[in-house]
Every structure is written in structure tokens, then in C-alpha cells.
Amino acid sequence: MADAIVSAKICRKCGVVKPLADFAPDKRNKDGKGARCRRCHNAAGAEWAKKNPAKMKAMIAAWGAANRERRLAKNAAWAIANAGRKKEANAAWYRANAERLKPVMLAWVKANPEKVKAKRRTYYRKHAEVERSKYSAYRKSNPEKVRACKARWRRRQIGYNTAQWAARKARKNRATPPWSDIKTINSIYRAAREMQEKTGERYHVDHIVPLKSKLVCGLHVPANLQIIPAQKNMTKQNFYWPDMPSGENNRCQN
């Protein structure tokens, strides 16, 4: 008579009858299953690991070294299936090891300037609107710090600033027709400076139609000048002019 098909067995640890699926594989037994159920087996393993941390660590390291590809695939699958848990775990680990990581991260940043720049560019392109709003709020809350930061940048970039000033001056000279009223232009710039001194706010003399563009080229004449707050001019930059084609977003020097 054929042997009856066994679908359950008794756990030798807890003494409970459980389905064979609740037992780990074990080739040493006739039924191919372990003597203890998975729950009892795992509990015993956890207890052993607590009592033998060094041995457990060495065993894990040895298995990882011998099964590198399998370990990486398993970790990647777990990370995809548990993205939220992984993010929280990583954040908790970084918080707990902040002081230890700080010099390591600073050393990496110094050793990899190009990679850092590329990562920052990618991040800012992805979060452009959020970063602009954050920087705008910071500028309003910290005007003195922003001015000091810009002054430091100008001192470090004196050659670049001189070249930019020379280029702008050349554009103005080319865009100033012989019939332009230079006295009126000078008076507009004086008025902007007086408004700034009187109010304590920064004002710029803005070219209504930019001096340089793919579509238009304005002139350096009184009719093309307006005094506006510096913040508005920096926000406007060179994107807008009267009667510009709708949907255009052409950068031009203003």
C-alpha cells in the first residue's frame, strides 16, 4: 500500500500540529522538513544571535562575500518593495551618525567638485520653482546677508564683473543714436540714485525694450528707460518687453 500523503506534522518545540508549509526545508529528515516550525526556528535563531553577536556578524559577512550578486539583487528588490521604510531608515541612520559622517562627506565634496556641480544642477533643474520661492523668501528675510554675499562674490569675480561691465557699456554705445538726449538720460540715472538714497530701497534704470535680443534691439534713449525697484528688474530680467510675441521666452541682455 502506498504511503499516505502527509500534509502536517508536530513541531518538536511548541508541540503544535502545523501544515508542512510552516516548516523550513531540511534534507536530513524523511519528509524534507525541519523538526521545528518556522516560528520556533526563527525565535531560537534570534536568541542565539543575541548571545553570539560577534559570531552572527562574521556569519553574515561571510555569506555576503560568498553570495555578492545574490545579496545585491535581494537588497535591491527589498528597497523597491519597501521604499518608504528604506527612506525612513536611511534618514534615521544619517541623524544618528551625523558627526561621524560630516568630515567624510566634506572630504568627498572637495575631492569630487565636478560631480557635486552636476548633482546640484540636476537637483535645481528638477526643483526649480521650489528653490526660487525658497531663495526669494530668504532674500526678503535676510537682506543684509544677501548684500554681504553679493559683495563677496563681486570681489572674488572682479575680472568677470569688469568684462560684463565693459560688454554692457559697448552695447549701450552701439545702441545710442547720435540724436539721443544724453542730458535727459543722465538725469534719469540721477533720479534713480536720489530715489534710492531717499527711500533706502534699491532702484534700477531699466531698458523697457532690451538692448540685445533675437527678436528686438532697443535703443539707449530716454523713451526706452524707466526707473523701477531693483527686485522687480531682477525678476523681470530680460524676459519681457511691450508687445512681445506670446509664448516667447527668449533670453536677451536687458
Q: Do 172 and 164 touch, CB atoms closer than 8 A?
A: no
| Burial class for 143, CB neighbours closer than 10 Å (0-12, 13-18, 19+) | exposed
User: Cell numbers at residue 81, please?
Assistant: 518593495
pLDDT reported for residue 253: 44
User: Cell numbers at residue 36, please?
Assistant: 521545528
Ramachandran area for residue 246 (φ above 0: left; ψ -120 to 50: alpha; else beta): beta
Q: Is the pLDDT of residue 250 over 50?
A: no
User: Which of 114, 116, 96 shows the shortest CA–CA distance to 105?
Assistant: 116
User: Cell numbers at residue 205, please?
Assistant: 534704470
Confidence category of residue 167, pLDDT binned at 50, 70, 90: low
User: Cell numbers at residue 169, please?
Assistant: 557699456
Cα separation, 91 vs 96, in Å, equals 9
Q: Kind of pairing, strands 17-19 and 33-37?
A: unpaired
Domain ranges of the chain: 8-95, 179-236
pLDDT reported for residue 1: 38
Considering only 58-62, 147-151, 232-236, which range has the smallest mean pLDDT?
Answer: 232-236
Beta bridge partners of 204: 228
Q: Do 241 and 216 touch, CB atoms closer than 8 A?
A: yes
Confidence category of residue 249, pLDDT binned at 50, 70, 90: very low
Mean pLDDT for 81-94 is 90
> What is the tens place of the pLDDT at every residue in 40-86?
999 999 999 999 999 999 999 999 899 999 999 988 999 899 989 98
* Coil, strand or helix at 206: strand
Mean pLDDT for 173-194 is 84
pLDDT reported for residue 108: 93
* Coil, strand or helix at 41: helix
pLDDT reported for residue 156: 78
Cα separation, 171 vs 15, in Å, equals 92
Q: Do 41 and 33 touch, CB atoms closer than 8 A?
A: no
Q: Is the pLDDT of residue 37 over 90?
A: yes
pLDDT reported for residue 188: 86
pLDDT reported for residue 116: 93
Mean pLDDT for 192-212 is 84
CA separation, residue 110 to residues 40, 102, 106, 123, 235 (Å): 51, 12, 6, 19, 33
Mean pLDDT for 9-33 is 90
Please indicate, yes or no, whether the overall pTM of this predicted structure exceeds 0.85.
Answer: no
Q: Is the pLDDT of residue 243 over 80?
A: no
